[in-house]
Amino acid sequence: MKVSHSFSATSALFDDDNLVSHAGLVPVMELARSTGVAALLAKRVDLGTTRVASAGANLEAKLLTVIAGLCCGADSIDDLGIVRSGGHRRLFDRVYAPATIGQTLREFTPGHARQLNAVMTRSLPAMCARAGLLPTNGARVFVDIDSLLRPVYGYQKTGASYGHAKIAGRELLRRGLSPLIATLSAPEYPPVIANAWLRAGRAASGAGAATMIAQTIATARRCGAAGEITVRADAAYGSAEVMATCQRLGATFSLVLRTNTAITRAISAIGEDAWTPVVYPGAVTDPDTGALISDAEVAETTYTVRPLSSHPITARLIVRRVKAHHPADTDTLMPAWRYHSFFTNTTDDTITADINHRAHAVIETVFADLIDGPLAHLPSGVFGANAAWLALTAISHNLMRTLAALTSSARLRAARGATLRRTLVAVPARLARPARTPILHLPRHWPWHHAFTTLWTAVNTP
């Protein structure tokens, strides 16, 4: 492809007030209105007395401006200025400047950020009802919970501290902040975020997990999950408190337990004839070595957590073992195995339970989406502002998943956030008003025009 014109140094002009770079924001903002996000922001979020008198005014419009910018891929406060360029200010009312939004975000405290969490949990059922984000036919819904460490480098970041991060299979100490996130998903239904809290980097991974799981199960029920709900998590969340919470709320669990002598004895007691070969539909990553494995052997036994307490929990201990890798030309007397176990009270057969538990890795796709978008940075030095940024990021993620579902495209429904922004949001357009009727002129031969047209029709049909 070659340039077909001869341009001069003055041929590029930023002077068009009718040109829109992100026409897909129209259905995004219409969805925010129809699913109650805008109304909930107005009703639930109140900063009270602020240091800057104007910071608490018009919160709904300011926060919607942030959500719009996040759906465009903004990962800093300054990036939010993209929604004020060209014809965006003619398409939307009350679009605030980044400086004004930054001033407002810095007034947030962790308590105010929980108000945004309430908006997230109360708007998600409307999104699910509008676009079918979760099954409502009694099929099983999975709750996945995990934390990540987002590194920060400024020494004035409040709440930043050294926490454990795993990079290329190695445990490292990194300075940062640690979001705790819970998602809802089902087979053929991509995960949506049901809860998100920001914590200090040194916070224990499992701190507050039982409370978040209880809230997430309640949200799942409001979203129409009428069947079994299974909570999946790694060893940081395999506590008796989490198990008791699941049992109290009628959910099942599939949790990794920290290896100890009792678990080692239980695994050693499994006979060789009890192991069943299993071939995974797709290769999975070995948590110890990072290598991809496609086959293993699984077995199960019965195990009791806290057997001497007043409330012991007895369930199935399912163990997966894979052969340890040996260097080439190394002779071994007998195969060496690496064992990975998890504790569950589901009624699935051993192989199905193992495959379902391995699917907990789906939460990593959510983390990848967030890191590749709004959570690339935690943009403020104020902890409350970053907590609000995280909550608004979760709301924008759910809006994008709703957007994808309304296209009726199986490919886009399962697509990454960056793909959705490129195909459905970052659509250039020219705004015209013939006979005072607003028209958006979109690019001819846009590769995804069928999906965009389906979305536009779904959003703008009463």
Per the listing, tokens 């809230």 go with 215
Q: Locate the DSSP E strands across 328-398.
A: 337-344
pLDDT of residue 154: 80
- Coil, helix or strand at residue 281: strand
Per the listing, tokens 């099983």 go with 140
pLDDT of residue 281: 67
pLDDT of residue 331: 58
What are the extents of the domains in the chain? 19-110+381-460, 251-345
- Coil, helix or strand at residue 412: helix
pLDDT of residue 293: 65
Spatial separation of the C-alpha atoms in residues 246 and 335, rounded to whole Å: 38
Longest dimension (CA), the chain: 86
**Nearest Cα to Cα of residue 289 among 324, 257, 238, 240:** 324
Spatial separation of the C-alpha atoms in residues 157 and 83, rounded to whole Å: 27
Spatial separation of the C-alpha atoms in residues 229 and 225, rounded to whole Å: 8
* 184 bridge partner residues: 143, 192
Spatial separation of the C-alpha atoms in residues 91 and 315, rounded to whole Å: 57
Residues with Cβ within 8 Å of residue 342, at least 6 apart in sequence: 238, 254, 255, 256, 257, 317, 318, 357
Question: Consecutive 10-residue runs of the chain (462 residues): their mean pLDDT?
Answer: 88 91 96 96 92 90 97 95 93 94 95 96 96 94 95 87 76 89 96 96 89 97 95 94 96 94 92 85 66 78 91 93 68 70 94 92 95 93 96 98 96 95 96 90 95 95 80
Per the listing, tokens 């028209």 go with 439
Report pLDDT digits (tens) over 88-135: 999 999 999 999 999 999 999 999 999 999 999 999 999 999 999 999
pLDDT of residue 170: 73
Would you state the structure tokens that stand for residue 28, as one six-digit string?
A: 């995004």
Report pLDDT digits (tens) over 140-193: 999 999 999 999 988 888 998 888 777 766 778 889 999 999 999 999 999 999
Q: Is the pTM of this model over 0.85?
A: yes
Work out the end-to-end distance of the chain between its first and last CA atoms, rounded to an integer number of angstroms. 43
**Nearest Cα to Cα of residue 118 among 210, 41, 28, 35:** 41
- Coil, helix or strand at residue 329: coil
Would you state the structure tokens that stand for residue 334, as one six-digit string?
A: 């007998």
At 369, the amino acid letter reads D
At 297, the amino acid letter reads E
Number of H helices, E strands in the chain: 15, 14
Would you state the structure tokens that stand for residue 64, as one six-digit string?
A: 């919607």
